[in-house]
């Protein structure tokens, strides 16, 4: 069945990594954290409640589930802890909201470090932790981070001038805190339209780093560590919310004592000095309870039906667009690969097929590097009035590129199944290759081409990783079914909606696959001619 490796490989920092390596990784991980984790999370942790057993079987190691914004500092504290003889630790970093849901449903993990006390309370309601053992150990301020080329200083009301503002996901603590901060600053209602949501706060920051979005609201610690961004404004003072970091041993732990010890170690001198060094504030003396609460539940209520139908509609539009636009390249490439021999054929075939095996997140990252608004090509396209990132166009391009390999492979197979002698015969009967293509090759391969289109459609429908990196998670323009499910999974509410979307997704996919099977059979029948003799 399943295996600990899966739960912990994702973000678990192997103990051998040096600090420098950890820092170097931070940029890459920022993007990966937005999306890579998502599908794995679905496959892995949430669905596998029994990973715990393997965990216990290994020599005592503490699995620490921790908020993404602690990804740099916590391993350093861990080093110190281990140096002093503490139980070895492995970390899994992600958005607090996702980790909380994981911890509650998988029964895995020993310690939970949350960026929001609300989630600790929620876990207590689930019976996963005991509030009495929770410790508030640090705080983090929110800042407005801007690309280096944006002139500072910027104040909250100056955000109105920006075309887009990046925030973490709406159910992620950083995303909720940011919304609260903007509400307190009195600008939320005006800029709400311009907000684009990254999966985690690091994902949002990455867009600012890359210049795709001029400004983002992120944690001070992350902004300070990131290259090529400046901090334009700090949300300081009692009127603004701060992220409150809490640590708590999970009820599922078999190492209750060591877990509590490590939580206290973080609160102790060694931990606090490393936290201070990384830019965290000391724990707040008073706890501003429930600052960031409420939005998730409110959003999840009335608008639920609207968001579900928006996601389904958007998925269908994006998949259809990708399938239609992909038709010409798929048929062209499929035919060339089936019928022509030329230098570089292997290379072409490899490039076209690559997105099938390259992790979609990487494909998305590469696409962003080529088509992002700050790149020459992306800039050109944007100046024609078709910006790619955060638009339905971007979602469709991601779906197209990821779906194209299956498309081309199917089409190529369809053309290869057509005996070349049909084409040769057509030539001798006076039809040029071009005419022959339309009179013979295309009609004979048609069911196979349609099968490829259906397959590409189904793949586009399920596209997640490349979409979230290239096009973000914007309700109404890029939040397709897969992204909507992912967003809902971050929230303790909205489970029914998840099932509706899961049902829709599975159903559409199965129908598409049935169509594929039927069309493939038809392709076979169409060419049965030879065997009938």
Binding site for another protein (CB under 8 A): 419, 421-422, 424-433, 439-440, 443-444, 526-530, 532-533
User: What is the closest distance, in whole angstroms, from the C-beta atom of residue 520 to another protein in the complex?
Assistant: 17
CB distance 359 to 465 below 8 Å? yes
Nearer to another protein, 371 or 445 (CB): 445
User: What is the closest distance, in whole angstroms, from the C-beta atom of residue 176 to another protein in the complex?
Assistant: 60
389-408 burial string, b = 16+ CB within 10 Å, else e? Answer: bbbbbbbbbbbbbbbbbbbb
Element (H, E) at 525: helix 495-526
User: What is the closest distance, in whole angstroms, from the C-beta atom of residue 65 to another protein in the complex?
Assistant: 60
Nearer to another protein, 188 or 422 (CB): 422
The C-alpha angle 470, 471, 476, rounded to 5 degrees, equals 170
Q: Look at the block and give the residue holding tokens 């600990």.
A: 4
- Token pair, residue 444, equals 């004979």
Q: Look at the block and give the residue holding tokens 């902004």.
A: 223
Euclidean distance between the first and final Cα of the chain, in Å?
50
State residue 453 phi and psi, 5-degree precision: -65, -40
Please give the full DSSP string across 172-240, using - where no structure is assigned.
SHHHHHHHHHHHHTT-HHHHGGGEEEESSHHHHHHHHHTTSSSEEEEEHHHHHHSTTEEEEEE--STTS
Please give the full DSSP string across 364-396, using - where no structure is assigned.
HHHHHHHHSTTSHHHHHHHHTT---TTSHHHHH
- Token pair, residue 450, equals 């349609």
Q: Which of 168, 169, 28, 37 is nearest to 93 (CA)?
A: 37
Rounded CA-CA distance 102/371 in Å is 34
User: What is the closest distance, in whole angstroms, from the C-beta atom of residue 331 to another protein in the complex?
Assistant: 17
User: What is the closest distance, in whole angstroms, from the C-beta atom of residue 529 to another protein in the complex?
Assistant: 4
Nearer to another protein, 158 or 439 (CB): 439
The per-type count for the chain, helices as H runs and strands as E runs, is 26, 10
- Beta-strand ranges (E) seen in 54-173 are 62-67, 89-94, 111-114, 135-140, 142-147, 165-168
Helix (H, G, I), strand (E, B) or coil at 329: helix
**Distances, alpha carbon 10 to alpha carbons 25, 61, 215, 241, 512, in Å:** 13, 17, 28, 30, 31
CB distance 471 to 390 below 8 Å? yes
- Token pair, residue 10, equals 């994702």
Rounded CA-CA distance 249/258 in Å is 9
User: What is the closest distance, in whole angstroms, from the C-beta atom of residue 335 to another protein in the complex?
Assistant: 17
Nearer to another protein, 125 or 529 (CB): 529
Nearer to another protein, 148 or 525 (CB): 525
State residue 488 phi and psi, 5-degree precision: -70, -30
User: What is the closest distance, in whole angstroms, from the C-beta atom of residue 525 to another protein in the complex?
Assistant: 9
Nearer to another protein, 248 or 418 (CB): 418
Nearer to another protein, 24 or 524 (CB): 524
CB distance 469 to 361 below 8 Å? yes
User: What is the closest distance, in whole angstroms, from the C-beta atom of residue 210 to another protein in the complex?
Assistant: 51
User: What is the closest distance, in whole angstroms, from the C-beta atom of residue 434 to another protein in the complex?
Assistant: 10
User: What is the closest distance, in whole angstroms, from the C-beta atom of residue 426 to another protein in the complex?
Assistant: 7
Nearer to another protein, 343 or 533 (CB): 533
User: What is the closest distance, in whole angstroms, from the C-beta atom of residue 444 to another protein in the complex?
Assistant: 6
Nearer to another protein, 419 or 496 (CB): 419
Nearer to another protein, 225 or 440 (CB): 440
User: What is the closest distance, in whole angstroms, from the C-beta atom of residue 349 to another protein in the complex?
Assistant: 23
Q: Which of 94, 150, 63 is nearest to 374 (CA)?
A: 150
User: What is the closest distance, in whole angstroms, from the C-beta atom of residue 435 to another protein in the complex?
Assistant: 8
User: What is the closest distance, in whole angstroms, from the C-beta atom of residue 94 to another protein in the complex?
Assistant: 54
Q: Quick count: other Cβ atoms within 10 Å of Cβ 227?
A: 8
- Token pair, residue 398, equals 């991601």
Please give the full DSSP string across 399-429, using - where no structure is assigned.
HHHHHHHHHHHHHHHHHHTS-HHHHHHHHHT
């Amino acid at each position: 069945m399943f295996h600990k490796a899966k739960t912990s490989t994702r973000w678990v920092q192997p103990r051998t990594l040096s600090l420098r390596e950890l820092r170097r990784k931070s940029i890459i991980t920022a993007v990966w954290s937005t999306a890579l984790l998502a599908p794995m999370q679905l496959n892995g942790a949430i669905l596998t409640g029994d990973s715990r057993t393997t965990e216990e079987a290994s020599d005592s190691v503490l699995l620490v589930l921790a908020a993404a914004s602690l990804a740099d500092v916590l391993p350093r504290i861990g080093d110190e802890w281990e140096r002093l003889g503490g139980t070895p630790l492995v970390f899994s970093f992600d958005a607090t909201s996702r980790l909380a849901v994981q911890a509650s449903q998988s029964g895995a993990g020993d310690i939970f470090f949350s960026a929001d006390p609300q989630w600790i309370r929620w876990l207590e309601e689930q019976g996963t932790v005991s509030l009495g053992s929770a410790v508030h150990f640090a705080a983090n301020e929110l800042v407005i981070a801007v690309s280096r080329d944006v002139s500072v200083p910027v104040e909250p009301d100056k955000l109105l001038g920006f075309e887009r503002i990046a925030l973490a996901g709406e159910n992620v603590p950083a995303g909720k805190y940011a919304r609260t901060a903007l509400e307190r600053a009195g600008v939320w209602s005006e800029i709400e339209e311009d907000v684009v949501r990254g999966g985690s706060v690091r994902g949002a920051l990455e867009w600012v780093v890359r210049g795709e979005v001029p400004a983002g609201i992120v944690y001070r610690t992350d902004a300070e560590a990131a290259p090529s961004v400046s901090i334009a404004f700090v949300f300081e003072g009692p009127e603004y919310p701060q992220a409150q970091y809490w640590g708590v041993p999970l009820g599922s732990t078999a190492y209750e004592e060591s877990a509590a010890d490590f939580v206290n170690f973080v609160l102790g001198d060694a931990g606090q000095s490393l936290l201070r060094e990384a830019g965290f504030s000391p724990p707040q003396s008073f706890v501003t309870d429930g600052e960031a609460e409420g939005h998730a539940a409110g959003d999840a209520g009335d608008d639920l039906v609207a968001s579900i139908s928006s996601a389904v509609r958007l998925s269908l539009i994006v998949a259809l667009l990708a399938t239609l636009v992909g038709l010409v390249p798929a048929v062209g490439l499929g035919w060339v690969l089936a019928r022509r021999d030329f230098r570089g054929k292997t290379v072409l075939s490899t490039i076209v097929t690559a997105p099938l095996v390259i992790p979609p997140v990487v494909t998305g990252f590469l696409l962003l590097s080529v088509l992002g608004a700050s790149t020459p090509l992306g800039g050109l396209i944007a100046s024609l009035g078709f910006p790619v990132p955060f638009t339905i166009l971007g979602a469709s391009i991601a779906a197209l590129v990821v779906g194209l390999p299956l498309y081309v492979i199917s089409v190529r197979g369809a053309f290869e199944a057509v005996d070349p002698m049909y084409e040769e015969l057509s030539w001798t009967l006076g039809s040029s290759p071009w005419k022959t293509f339309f009179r013979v090759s295309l009609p004979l391969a048609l069911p196979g081409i349609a099968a490829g289109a259906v397959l590409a459609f189904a793949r586009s429908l399920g596209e997640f990783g490349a979409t979230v990196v290239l096009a973000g998670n914007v309700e109404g323009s890029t939040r397709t079914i897969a992204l909507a499910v992912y967003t809902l999974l971050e929230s303790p509410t909205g489970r029914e909606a998840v099932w509706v979307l899961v049902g829709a997704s599975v159903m559409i996919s199965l129908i598409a696959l049935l169509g594929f099977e039927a069309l493939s059979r038809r392709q076979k029948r169409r060419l049965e001619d030879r065997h009938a003799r």
